[in-house]
Structure formats: structure tokens, C-alpha cells
Chains A and B, each alone.
Chain A
Amino acid sequence: MSEKKALIELRDVAKHYKKGGEVVKAVDGINQEIPTTGMVAIVGPSGSGKSTLLHIIGAMDRPTRGEVVVAGKTLNGLPEKELTRFRRQTVGFVFQTFNLIPNLTALENVMLPMEFNRVPKPERVRRAKSLLERLGLEQRFKHRPSELSGGETQRVAMARALGNDPPFILADEPTGNLDSQAGQMIYELLKEISTERTVVVVTHAELLAQMANKILHIKDGRLQDQS
């Protein structure tokens, strides 16, 4: 991976919490820079701290130590309101279990983050349709999540994540609930997306990790060798 300007900078980031009287070091002193484009895969065994690291980067959790800088903005110490704005404008989330709102159509689900970002309705509709068409879902605008296949649902979730055109996408086991064929399609889409922005993926899938420009191996909350 060629050296580019860093979008995300992690400086001695740690997340410790107490459980049953013992201090658990979920993440422990991670230093890393992630560039403005390309795919980064975080891999490691269960309980290694990879999801915790993803939550910290996505401003859903706060580190107990260290500094997280994204697009030049230090997240530590930002009030909750600012973190919400950060998530709204800077991050797109793709979840393992898709997490679409069940009583909204595919189009409405994609429009939702844009509404939180105060995008005018005609623009929301235009962008949402465009994204769904780009992901091959032009026949599924009016369908609810229960009427979609797993692969289609995850593609709607990806369209939703791209709605506000964020500089990076965080994906937590995005193929964990998909069959191999649907998973393959998601890999390719993530790879395609990563050409224009940063995609950080937590995954157990070897194939997906191999597609990444950078792989971060994490064990016991610490980074191992990286490739």
C-alpha cells in the first residue's frame, strides 16, 4: 500500500474497563495511521478487541487513553452532540445484521441518514435512487427489508452508509450473515467503494481480508505484525 495522507490517526489508543474486579484491556496502546482511500481489514480472534477498535474509530465509544484524530479532528473530549454530528457526516456504518428499519422501504432506509443530515427531500430521493441503482437494486425501491434477500438487504445497508457521502465506511463483519455468493458480491462492492474513500472492515473472512490494502492483526488488544 503506497503512503498517502492519513485520514485516521490512532495514537496510543487504549480501552480498559473493569469486569468482575479485573481490568480488561480490550484495546491496549494502538498506534496506526489509515490513509484517505483504500480498504483496511482488522482481523483477529474473538475477543481480541477488533470490534472495540472499530467502535472507537466510529465515535460510538470513547477510549480510556490515547488520541483518535479523524480528518484532522480530535474525537477525544468532543461532547455527545458533536460525536453525533461526526457520525452523521463522516462515517458510514455497515452492520453484520444489516440493521435496516423494518417498517421502512429500501428507499426510505437509504434516505434516513440524509434526513438526519438535513439534506432536502428532492436531493435525498435523487441520491438514494442513484445509490440503489448503482448497487443493482433499482427494482427494490419500494420493498421492505423482509421482502429482500440477505445480499440485497446488505446492499441497501451499504447504500444507506454511502448516503451522506462520508469519507470512510466502517463495516463490522459485513458478510457474517450472508452465503458465499452474496458475500462475494459485498466484497467486490466494498473494494469498489474503497477506491474513492477509506473502508475499514472487521472480518473473519480470509478472502475479504486478502482483498484489503492493509491488514491489521490484533490480539489481546494489541496490534501484531501488519501486512
Chain B
Amino acid sequence: MGMVLLGLRNLFRSKLRLAVVVILIGVPFFLLLVMKAIGDGIRSQTEVLKRDVNTLLQLRARGSMGHINMVGQDRILPQNVLEKVKQIEHVVHVEPYLLAMAPITEPNFVMHVGLEPSAEKRLESHGEAGNPRIIAGRDFSPEDRGQNVAIIGQGYAKWAGITPHDIESGRATLVVDPTRIHPVIFRMERPKRTLNIIGTYASGYVFGDLQLFMPLDTFRDIYAVNQGISWVFVRVDSVDNVESVTKRLQEVVGDVADILAPKGAAVFTATTSRTVTRLATAGAILAVVLMAIVIFFVTLMQVRERSREIGTLKAIGASDGEVTVEVLTEAVALTILGGLVALVFFKIVDETITGPVFAFGITPFLPSHYKPLVQSLSISNHISASGLGVLALVAFLTSAIGSAYGLWQVFKLSPLEAMKHE
């Protein structure tokens, strides 16, 4: 009869008490499981959301639109910005853009954009209407670098009289004339250039369809811009790093650039997932504290009730350590039993109850605009082997901490307690 076995047998002295205590421990344990599931749900939801969150930063010359021929807005970034930006940690992709304006009849002007053939063709108000979609002809290929080719927006093409059929038959061309002016466009003394239109795109909004994309080297040649960049688009690896990369850009690039950071990303990371995760963590801590409190009182009650028995064990030769093992075994076993009951209940009820429990427990502490997130949260009752291991460790530590005072009382109890008569 080891003291561990004796501790386990003590559990069954009163079956009614055992049931009550197991339920008392099981309830906070269930809460802990729910909070863990919520934490997991939030993490997976966050990962999904992160994929859709814009992590693209835009740099342009301070106080300038960066169009090389726009009156008062023609300052561009120095060429070395590109290399500096590429060396920043968490920057995964850099795209240089050069922009020029070109006058047309109504609606006044269009945009000429020079970019790397492999770059995404971002519209000037990038992100508002998504990226362009090729509707006729083809996209750029690496072989187009430095060639007199272009892809034209469907609105610009219509103005220029170019049809999709012309493009697909390889007969579409457009003349770029840098000498043409407009109230906001100044004259550039450069020869005209005829570009072969290899494709046309649709963007989903009117101004987006009035752009002409050409290879960056071609643009530099047409407009004689050998150095400098209008815009630099910087892709950050994760929404979590947008803030730090923005700060680093400011340090590295210095005062020459404005940095346009996606506001939504910062707001998202700073509030939604962090707030809900923190609340779930707080709930989990509360559950563990509740468990520890239950174990504290149960252990203390048992020690008080069994003080004569503990004294007897000491009188007949049990060491303090042996009696402590007996009582600790009982506390740990009670916690594990409570945990198992909670686990079974958790597996049975699934999200039918965990969702409402979460909503009931968390949403009162959240601003109303979080409610859709809470309602859409997918809570799974799956618990991995490592998750079970963590829970078992938490249960053991909680029971050890919760029963610590009771165990100290056991330690202090004198064998003379055996002599007390009831």
C-alpha cells in the first residue's frame, strides 16, 4: 500500500463528495478548455485574415505625387532608396514605379507607368478596385524588358481607337509624345515613341482604366529619366511587421520620402486579434485561478477533517514527506478527474455551447464592432496530443499550487493530533 495508492483510495471515501468536488473542478477546467479553443480559433482566424490584409507600403518623394512631368509635383525618390529598402528585415518584395502624365481630350489626362515586367500593375489609387485584369492580348514577359511594348487600360484604348481585335492581331500601336502639355503637365523635350500595344486590361473603375503600363527601361528611355523612382512599393512578410518595417523605413530612407502604410493593417493587429486573444488569455487565467481556489479549499478541508488520521500516520512512523505525497496525490487525482469530466463534456457539447459560452463571457467586454468577429469565430473541440500534455501540466501545477497551503498544514501537523479525542 504505497502512499500514492492510499491517496487514490481516499478519493472514494465519500462518492457524493467526490462527485461534487469533481464538478467544482470540472467547471473551471471546462472554461479553460473553451478559452484554449477560442485562443486556437483566434489564431487560425488571424492567420486567414492576415493573408487578406494589405501589407504593402508605398514610398514617394516627400510632399510630391512623384509624376515626372506634373507641375509642382515632379520630385522623385533618389535611386539608392531601392537598395536601402531591400536590405530591411521582413521586406520580401520591392517594386519601383515611374510615372508620367499625358494629356488627352475628355477626361483630360491619362497616366503612363514604367515598371518591371514581372511587377504587379498597380493602379494609381492602388487597392481601391483591385489589380487590373488582362481582357485581350497578353501580359508582360521578361523578354519585354527595354522593348517598345505597352499594356493599355480599356478606357485609354477606347479613346485611342484601339480595339481588342487590333491588339490580338498584333496591329495596335500608340504614340507617346512627351512634348504635349496640360494645365498640370509641363513639356518635356523628348522625341515621340511608338509603342506596340500587346494587351489591354480592365480595372473596375474609370480612372483605373486610363493608364498605360510599359517596361521601366522603356519609360526611362522615352522620358530621359536615368535615375530616380516615382514610387516604391514595399511588401512586408506579415501584418505583424508592418509597423516595425514602417519605422525602419523612416530611419533608413530618411526625410526624403513619405511612407503610406496600410492603416487597416495597423488597426487590425493593434486591436482585433490582440484584444480577443488577451481576453481569452484572461479567461484562461481566471479558470486556472478558480481551479486552484477549489483545490485550496478542498485540500484544507480534508486536512482539517483528517488531522487525527494524519497525526496517527506520523505517530506510527510515516514521514512528513510520505503523508504529503498521500494528500498531494489526492489533490492531483481530483484535478485530473475534474479535467477528464470537463474534457468529455467539452467533446460532447462541441461548439453548440462553447460558442455561446465565449460570446456570453467575452462580448460584454468588447466594443460592438467586434461582435461579427466573435460570431464568425469557428471554435473546434479538437485537442491535439501536445495540447493535452499542456493541459495535464497545467492541471498538475494548479493542483500543486492550490494544495500548497494544505500540504504545509500537513507538514506542520504534530503526531500529537493522533491523541485528540473527538
- Chain A's closest residue to B13 (CB) is A103
- Chain B's closest residue to A88 (CB) is B317
CA distance A102 to B12 in the complex (A): 11
Which residues of A sit under 8 angstroms from B314, Cβ to Cβ? 84, 87
Question: Beta-carbon contacts of B147-160 to A below 8 Å, as 1s and 0s?
Answer: 00000000000000
- A95 in complex: contacting residue of B9, B320, B418, CB < 8 Å: B418
- B418 in complex: contacting residue of A81, A99, A102, CB < 8 Å: A99
CB pair A60–B317 under 8 Å, yes or no, is no
CB pair B422–A108 under 8 Å, yes or no, is no
Which residues of B sit under 8 angstroms from A161, Cβ to Cβ? 316
- B317 in complex: contacting residue of A55, A87, A102, A108, CB < 8 Å: A87
CA distance A117 to B316 in the complex (A): 10
- B322 in complex: contacting residue of A89, A104, A116, CB < 8 Å: A116
Question: Beta-carbon contacts of B178-219 to A below 8 Å, as 1s and 0s?
Answer: 000000000000000000000000000000000000000000
CB pair B315–A116 under 8 Å, yes or no, is no
CA distance A58 to B315 in the complex (A): 9
Q: Is A61 an interface residue (CB 8 A)?
A: yes
Considering only residues 60-115 of chain A, those with a C-beta below 8 Å from chain B are 60-61, 80-81, 84-85, 87-89, 93, 95-97, 99, 101-104, 108, 111-113, 115
Q: Is B414 an interface residue (CB 8 A)?
A: yes
CB pair A116–B1 under 8 Å, yes or no, is no
- Secondary structure at the B interface, as helix, strand, loop or mixed, is helix
Count residues of chain A with CB under 8 A from any CB of chain B: 32
CA distance A184 to B301 in the complex (A): 38
Q: Is A172 an interface residue (CB 8 A)?
A: yes
CB pair A112–B419 under 8 Å, yes or no, is no
Q: Is A164 an interface residue (CB 8 A)?
A: yes
Which residues of B sit under 8 angstroms from A85, Cβ to Cβ? 317
Q: With A103-B9, A111-B1 given, is the CB distance from A93 to B316 under 8 Å?
A: yes
Q: Is B10 an interface residue (CB 8 A)?
A: yes
Q: Is A155 an interface residue (CB 8 A)?
A: no
**Other contacts beyond A60-B416, A116-B322: 17, CB < 8 A:** A55-B416, A58-B315, A60-B418, A60-B419, A80-B320, A95-B312, A99-B418, A102-B309, A103-B9, A103-B12, A104-B6, A108-B1, A112-B313, A115-B1, A115-B2, A116-B316, A116-B318
On A, residues with C-beta under 8 Å from B are 51, 55, 58, 60-61, 80-81, 84-85, 87-89, 93, 95-97, 99, 101-104, 108, 111-113, 115-117, 160-161, 164, 172
On B, residues with C-beta under 8 Å from A are 1-2, 6, 9-10, 12-13, 308-309, 312-320, 322, 414-416, 418-419, 421-422
